[in-house]
C-alpha cells in the first residue's frame, strides 16, 4: 500500500464521526449547534466533496460566547502562571498525540501538501509549550524608584479577546494566537475561517480534554460578515487578533472603533526576494522556489516578487523556469506532492484571473499560467517574466503559486522597486557582501528581513509587518504586550523609607 493510500484510509477514519455529527460550536464548555440550528458546508478543494456540515454561528452565538468568556475571565486571570503553564503543556501533549489526525484533516480541508502540513501540528504544540513556559513570568514588571516614590510596574491580562484566523495553515496560526492569549490570562472567543473549520474543532476538543476551565476558550463558527462582525463589535471583547487580508483588517478597525478595541493584524504581503550578482545563486534559487511554491503560495510571507540583478537575470531565470516546470502538482495527501489544490473555486478563479492580467499588461508567462486538470481547484505553478514594477502582477497580492520576476540594475533600483508597494511584511536579501546586506535590510520597508535564508521562524523574535501588512508584533514578550495591559503603582515614600532606599544622605 502506498503512503497516499495509507493516508486516505486513516483520513476516512478521522472524518467518519465528523460527517455524521457535524462540526459544532464550543460555548461555556458545551459543544452545541448554532442557536437557530443553521449550518453551512465545508468541502474539500481536492474534489469538492462534502467533509461535514458546520454550525453557522451568528450574533446570538457570539454574544453567548463573549458572555461566557467574560464570566470565566476573573478566575482564569487570577490563576497562577504556574497553573496555566501546566494546563497549556497538557494541551501541547494532546496536540502531539493527535498530530496525524490534525495534519491529514488540514490537508483535506485546505488542499495544503502533506509534506509541509505533516509538521503543522507539532509546530502548534511548540507554540503552546513556548508560551506555557513564559506564563509564570507574564505579569512581571520593574521597580523604578525616584527621590519621593517607589514605582512598581506590572502587567495584567486585558480581558476576553477575539481571535479570527485564516484558512491557510489554520491550525498553526490559531495556536500562534491562542496560546499566548491563554498564557497571559485572557479568555478567548475563536472565530475560524469558514473555508477551513475542521482543525479548529479538534483544537477545541483538545482544550476541553486538557482541563481548560469552561468558558476560557470558546469556538464559534460562522461567516465573517455575521459571526466575525458580531465579534469585532461586541462590547465584552477587549481586543481582536486577526490574520487575513488587508481589506478585512481595515473593516475590523472600523467595526471595533465604537468600543475602542485593541487590534493586532497580520495582513497581506507582496514580499521581495532580492538576488544580487554576488550571491550564492544555487541557494538563492532553492529558497526562491521554496518560498513561493510551498504551501501553494497561500502564505503571507511568500516571496512573490523576485528581484534579480540584470547581470545574472538571464541565467537565473532560465534555471528558475526549469525548476518551476518541475514542481510537482498532485493530491495533497501524497508525500511527493509539492503543490495541492487552492482553497476554493472562488480563490482559484481569482488567482487564474491574473494570467489574463499578465498578458494584457505585456508580461510573459514563462511557466504555468493555467488551471491544472478539471477536478479540484488546482493551478499550475506559474512564473511571470518581462514584468515592470507598476504592473498589477507586481503590485497586488495574488496569494497563489505565482511568482513575478523583475530585473534591477543596482542596489538603489532594487530598493526602489522593493519598497514601491502597499505592503511591508517580509523581505529576503541574497548577497555575500555583509555591508550591502545590512544597508539593504535597513532600508527595506518591511517588518522582517531574512538574509541568505528562506523564512525560518524563531519564536522569541518579533513577527509582523508595516504599511498595509499589519499592526503589532507576535512572538516572545511582544505577544504579551498585546494581550496584557501595563500597570504602574506609585507609592509615596516617607523620610524613613527614602533614607532606607539611599536616595537622601543620612540625617535628612
Q: Which of 101, 300, 397, 454 is catalytic?
A: 300
- Measured distance CA(160)–CA(155) in Å, rounded: 15
The closest alpha carbon to 306, from 200, 362, 386, belongs to: 386
Phi, psi of 81 (to 5 degrees): -60, -35
Rg of the chain over all Cα atoms, to the nearest angstrom: 25
Residue with cell string 473555508: 195
| Helix, coil or strand: residue 396 | coil
pLDDT at 505: 43
Clarify whether 266 is annotated catalytic: yes
Residue with cell string 483535506: 108
DSSP string, 400-456: SSEEEEEEESSHHHHHHHHHSSSEESEEEEE-S-HHHHHHHHHHS-SSEEEESS---
User: How many residues belong to the chain?
Assistant: 508
Number of H helices, E strands in the chain: 18, 22
Question: In 10 A of CB 394, how many CB atoms?
Answer: 24
| Helix, coil or strand: residue 232 | helix
Beta carbons of 165 and 193 less than 8 angstroms apart: yes
pLDDT at 17: 85
Beta carbons of 248 and 242 less than 8 angstroms apart: yes
Clarify whether 100 is annotated catalytic: no
- Measured distance CA(486)–CA(481) in Å, rounded: 8
Beta carbons of 498 and 148 less than 8 angstroms apart: yes
pLDDT at 495: 61
pLDDT at 508: 37
Question: In 10 A of CB 374, how many CB atoms?
Answer: 6
> pLDDT in tens for each of the 508 residues of the chain?
899 999 999 999 999 989 989 999 999 999 999 999 999 999 999 999 999 999 999 999 999 999 999 999 999 999 999 999 999 999 999 999 999 999 999 999 999 999 999 988 899 999 999 999 999 999 999 999 888 999 999 999 999 999 999 999 999 999 999 999 999 999 999 999 999 999 999 999 999 999 999 999 999 999 999 999 999 999 999 999 999 999 999 999 999 999 999 999 999 999 999 999 999 999 999 999 999 999 999 999 999 999 999 999 999 999 999 999 999 999 999 999 999 999 999 999 999 999 999 999 999 999 999 999 999 999 999 999 999 999 999 999 999 999 999 999 999 999 999 999 999 999 999 999 999 999 999 999 999 999 999 999 899 999 999 999 999 999 999 999 999 999 999 999 876 655 665 544 443 3
Q: Which domains does the chain have, with CATH numbers?
A: 3-267+469-487 (3.40.605.10), 272-451 (3.40.309.10)
The closest alpha carbon to 328, from 337, 341, 317, belongs to: 337
Amino acid at each position: 500500500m502506498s503512503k497516499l493510500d495509507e493516508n486516505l484510509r486513516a483520513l476516512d477514519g478521522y472524518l467518519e464521526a465528523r460527517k455524521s455529527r457535524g462540526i459544532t460550536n464550543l460555548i461555556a464548555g458545551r459543544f452545541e449547534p448554532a442557536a437557530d440550528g443553521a449550518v453551512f458546508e465545508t468541502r474539500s478543494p481536492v474534489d469538492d466533496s462534502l467533509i461535514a456540515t458546520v454550525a453557522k454561528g451568528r450574533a446570538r452565538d457570539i454574544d453567548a460566547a463573549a458572555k461566557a468568556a467574560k464570566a470565566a475571565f476573573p478566575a482564569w486571570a487570577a490563576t497562577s502562571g504556574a497553573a496555566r503553564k501546566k494546563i497549556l503543556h497538557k494541551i501541547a501533549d494532546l496536540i502531539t498525540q493527535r498530530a496525524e489526525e490534525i495534519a491529514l484533516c488540514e490537508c483535506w480541508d485546505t488542499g495544503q501538501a502533506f509534506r509541509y502540513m505533516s509538521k503543522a501540528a507539532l509546530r502548534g504544540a511548540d507554540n503552546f509549550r513556548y508560551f506555557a513556559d513564559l506564563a509564570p513570568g507574564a505579569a512581571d514588571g520593574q521597580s523604578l524608584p525616584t527621590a519621593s516614590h517607589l514605582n512598581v510596574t506590572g502587567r495584567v491580562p486585558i480581558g476576553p479577546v477575539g481571535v479570527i484566523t485564516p484558512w491557510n495553515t489554520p491550525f498553526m496560526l490559531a495556536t500562534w494566537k491562542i496560546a499566548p492569549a491563554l498564557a497571559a490570562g485572557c479568555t478567548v472567543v475563536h472565530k475560524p475561517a469558514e473555508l477551513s473549520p475542521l482543525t479548529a474543532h479538534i483544537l477545541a476538543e483538545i482544550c476541553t480534554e486538557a482541563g481548560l476551565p469552561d468558558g476560557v476558550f470558546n469556538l464559534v463558527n460562522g461567516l465573517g460578515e455575521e459571526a466575525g462582525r458580531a465579534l469585532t463589535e461586541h462590547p465584552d471583547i477587549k481586543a481582536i487578533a486577526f490574520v487575513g487580508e488587508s481589506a478585512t483588517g481595515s473593516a475590523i478597525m472600523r467595526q471595533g472603533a465604537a468600543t475602542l478595541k485593541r487590534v493586532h493584524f497580520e495582513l497581506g504581503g507582496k514580499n521581495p526576494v532580492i538576488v544580487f550578482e554576488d550571491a550564492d545563486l544555487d541557494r538563492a534559487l532553492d529558497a526562491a522556489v521554496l518560498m513561493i511554491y510551498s504551501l501553494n503560495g497561500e502564505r503571507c510571507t511568500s516571496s512573490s516578487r523576485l528581484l534579480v540583478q540584470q547581470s545574472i537575470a538571464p541565467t537565473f531565470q532560465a534555471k528558475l523556469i526549469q525548476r518551476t516546470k518541475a514542481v510537482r502538482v498532485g493530491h495533497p495527501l501524497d508525500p511527493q506532492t509539492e503543490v495541492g489544490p487552492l482553497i476554493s473555486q472562488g480563490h482559484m478563479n481569482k488567482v487564474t484571473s491574473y494570467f489574463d492580467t499578465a498578458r494584457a499588461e505585456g508580461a510573459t508567462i514563462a511557466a504555468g499560467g493555467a488551471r491544472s486538470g478539471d477536478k479540484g481547484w488546482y493551478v499550475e505553478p506559474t512564473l511571470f517574466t518581462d514584468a515592470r514594477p507598476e504592473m498589477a502582477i507586481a503590485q497586488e497580492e495574488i496569494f497563489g503559486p505565482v511568482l513575478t520576476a523583475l530585473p534591477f540594475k543596482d542596489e538603489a533600483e532594487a530598493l526602489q522597486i522593493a519598497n514601491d508597494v502597499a505592503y511591508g511584511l517580509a523581505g529576503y536579501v541574497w548577497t555575500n557582501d555583509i555591508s550591502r546586506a545590512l544597508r539593504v535590510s535597513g532600508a527595506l520597508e518591511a517588518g522582517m528581513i531574512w538574509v541568505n535564508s528562506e523564512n525560518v521562524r524563531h519564536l522569541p523574535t518579533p513577527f509582523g509587518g508595516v504599511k498595509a501588512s499589519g499592526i503589532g508584533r507576535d512572538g516572545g514578550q511582544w505577544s504579551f504586550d498585546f494581550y496584557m495591559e501595563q500597570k504602574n503603582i506609585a507609592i509615596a515614600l516617607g523620610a524613613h523609607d527614602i533614607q532606607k532606599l539611599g536616595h537622601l544622605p543620612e540625617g535628612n
